[in-house]
Structure 1
């Protein structure tokens, strides 16, 4: 991998990690369209450490409160009922279980069949439709339909074990490139009746342990093949800087705007990808490393 490839892929990772359009799919597609080798699941997981570092800094006050309250709840279990931050700490752990189990179980599929461009095209379109439905339901509740009052949506103070686990199942779906971690968890949150901001905030917090664990786990495979350590580190730093800026923008965006632009983009990209693969312009396995 050249330094230019590393820069572009780090930029793509930072731009797409927090938007509901799938960073792993965009890394795969960027390499395929440019005629580069697929950077692979290990490179993707490690560069995500950079974007999660941005989450740690942006939400540092929330995370510090949650960790502190959770640690105190180990000695005083009453805090789980009385302190929202202590409860949130346990719910993040509960929500991380599905992706932890499936990530290890499906490791070979994640590094192989799941990177097929036809599957990515499918997940882009299907999850785009799901996000669109969830977004419309949220908009209807917030504004009220014809002859009906607006419906009060839930905040994170109302998050319970069942919802936390469902969020986790949604996050686990993002093991397939094209689904999008934020897209799946935000869609799940909206369908469960949470506000846009609450769904996005919990999505970002829930991703921290899963992404960091995945990145650390994949460190053993870094520097192998065509992706060297220096380029991987460089891409991770680029992803961190760009990712922080994107978080700040996205949290402001969702407070008043619809997810429809992302829905349209996902569907159009998925259809275009299907067309290119079907026409033979692009191979479904473009850039994959054999062997």
Structure 2
């Protein structure tokens, strides 16, 4: 793989993993629109590892507090705010884990069509725009109920449909439940940690025992560039989300979806 491919794909993955614009759509589209060879499963793992590292570093203090409180809750059966949040992340991950195992083959073959991507970008982009337009929420993450967690978790499972965007659909659900934009984004990012980890584990499992050659320099470059771009994306998204809202991302999704329909229909 040429280094220009590494740089472009890593930056695209890092930025789009946490913006509500669908990283999977972009990783599929880049080789399609540029006539590059598909980057392959090994490089996909590297890119996801970079994104995972970024979100864990950014929320490192939250993760430490959540882990300590969650561990303590197992013994005391008492839940403080951090333990509740840890359980919320765990329980919110179950629906997408089950759906991923059940529909993995369909997702990786039938649904990778650019037309499905266009449909996901447009339909769920409009839903995100509507949720943000009617946004009046002020609730924080600490005020979520277990029903809220279940709804957001089920919404996250829908993101397996390409073009939906995992962050986009979870933020949409959280906004509709009355969370503030910042709280919706923060919980979405925390939810991404076990999901990205599970995705990497499944992809690695597929690689075990295969004869796929590994270019370790390319892998390291992908991890580093994806991680840096993802970290910066998280930081600036959370810093400006209350001010800019979701409408710029909605417009981008609609334009990209329309372009795909024009190109591939």
Preserved contact between residue 46 and residue 222 of structure 2 (Cα < 8 Å): no
TM-score in terms of structure 1 length: 0.85
Structure 2: how far apart are the matches of 1:59 and 1:87? 16
3-state SS of paired residue (1:175): coil
Structure 2 equivalent of residue 270 of structure 1: 257
Aligned Cα root-mean-square deviation (Å): 1.8
Structure 2: how far apart are the matches of 1:111 and 1:228? 22
* Correspondences of 1:80-159 after superposition (within 5 Å): 80=79, 83-138=80-135, 141=136, 153-159=138-144
Preserved contact between residue 13 and residue 27 of structure 2 (Cα < 8 Å): yes
Preserved contact between residue 39 and residue 227 of structure 1 (Cα < 8 Å): no
Structure 1's unaligned 5+ residue stretches are 142-151, 279-291
| Structure 2 residue 160 is the aligned partner of structure 1 residue 175 | yes
Structure 2: how far apart are the matches of 1:235 and 1:219? 16
Preserved contact between residue 28 and residue 39 of structure 1 (Cα < 8 Å): no
3-state SS of paired residue (1:74): helix
The Cα offsets for residues 92-137 of structure 1, whole Å up to 9 and x where unpaired, read as 1110001110111111112111211100000000011001001101
Structure 2's unaligned 5+ residue stretches are none
Structure 2: how far apart are the matches of 1:105 and 1:64? 32
Structure 1 equivalent of residue 192 of structure 2: 207
Preserved contact between residue 46 and residue 218 of structure 1 (Cα < 8 Å): no
Structure 2: how far apart are the matches of 1:61 and 1:191? 28
Structure 2: how far apart are the matches of 1:222 and 1:276? 33
Query: Shift of the alpha carbon at 1:157?
Result: 1.5
**Higher helix fraction: Structure 1 or Structure 2?**
2
Preserved contact between residue 94 and residue 161 of structure 1 (Cα < 8 Å): no
Structure 1: how far apart are the matches of 2:40 and 2:103? 15
Structure 2: how far apart are the matches of 1:173 and 1:45? 22
Q: Structure 1 residues 243, 212: CA separation in 2 closer, same or farther (over 3 Å shift)?
A: same
* Correspondences of 1:9-88 after superposition (within 5 Å): 9-40=9-40, 43-77=43-77, 79-80=78-79, 83-88=80-85
Query: Shift of the alpha carbon at 1:242?
Result: 0.9
Q: Structure 1 residues 110, 234: CA separation in 2 closer, same or farther (over 3 Å shift)?
A: farther
> How many matched pairs?
263
3-state SS of paired residue (1:210): helix
The Cα offsets for residues 69-88 of structure 1, whole Å up to 9 and x where unpaired, read as 000000011x22xx111111
Computing the radius of gyration over CA atoms, which structure comes out larger, 1 or 2?
A: 1
| Structure 2 residue 243 is the aligned partner of structure 1 residue 256 | yes
Query: Shift of the alpha carbon at 1:207?
Result: 1.0
